[in-house]
Amino acid sequence: MKSMKSRIGTALAALALTSLALTACGGGQAAGAAAVIGDDRVSTNQVSSAVSEINVGRGLAATTQDAALVQLTVQRLIRASLVDQAADRLDVTADQGSIDRQLLDLVRNAGSQEALDQLALDNDIPPSQLDEEIAVSILLSQIGQVLAPDATPEDQNALVLAYLTELSGELNITVSARFGTWEPTVLSVGPVPTDLATPAADPLQS
């Protein structure tokens, strides 16, 4: 069960959790953006929709306030965008057939679609975004193959992390202050800036 959770968790989170050696908030945020990643952006609507789906899936009201979940969602969406942009640069893709096959494997391993959806919720992932999370995992594997085709999986993971960390700095990722601060060395969203006058109880309603 534990390995199943890591498979459906974000691939970058899995890298960090397994210690595979996978700032501060900038100004000038685009209107309605929770984060800006180069030319891409994570909108507050994307974050709100994902958080609402997770809340409802857990039997809570859609508008239940959970600052930690909001921050993790922003982080997950930033990482997904970062991986997508790295894949574009390296000309690698995750085709729908591969995504579908992995999804079927996950359903079989979980025992049912309902059980897989619950595992997704346990990992702070909206079930409707499982395809996107699988795509991220496939892209990370392909990026590793491009960067070091003859290396071990562990070495590939380390190289992927280094590549994404460098790209993160190049893209000058920024996070809206009410959601936290981007920490490029660990590819994570950190605490809300201490100089924020009054941190919002619910950043999605600010």
3-state secondary structure of 40: strand
In a domain, 128, yes or no: yes
3-state secondary structure of 70: helix
In a domain, 48, yes or no: yes
In a domain, 193, yes or no: no
Question: For residues 77 and 62, what is the distance between their CA atoms, to the nearest angstrom?
Answer: 19
Domain tally, the chain: 1
Among candidates 189, 188, 206, which has minimal Cα distance to 48?
Answer: 206
In a domain, 15, yes or no: yes
In a domain, 104, yes or no: yes
Model pTM?
Answer: 0.83
Q: Which domain holds residue 98?
A: 2-181
Residue 163's domain is classified under what CATH number?
Answer: 1.10.4030
In a domain, 17, yes or no: yes
Question: For residues 75 and 42, what is the distance between their CA atoms, to the nearest angstrom?
Answer: 10
In a domain, 205, yes or no: no
Question: For residues 44 and 46, what is the distance between their CA atoms, to the nearest angstrom?
Answer: 5
Q: pLDDT in tens for each of the 206 residues of the chain?
A: 444 444 444 443 443 333 233 323 333 445 589 999 999 999 999 999 999 999 999 999 999 999 999 999 999 999 999 999 999 999 999 999 999 999 999 999 999 999 999 999 999 999 999 999 999 999 999 999 999 999 999 999 999 999 999 999 999 999 999 999 999 999 999 998 876 545 555 667 65
In a domain, 8, yes or no: yes
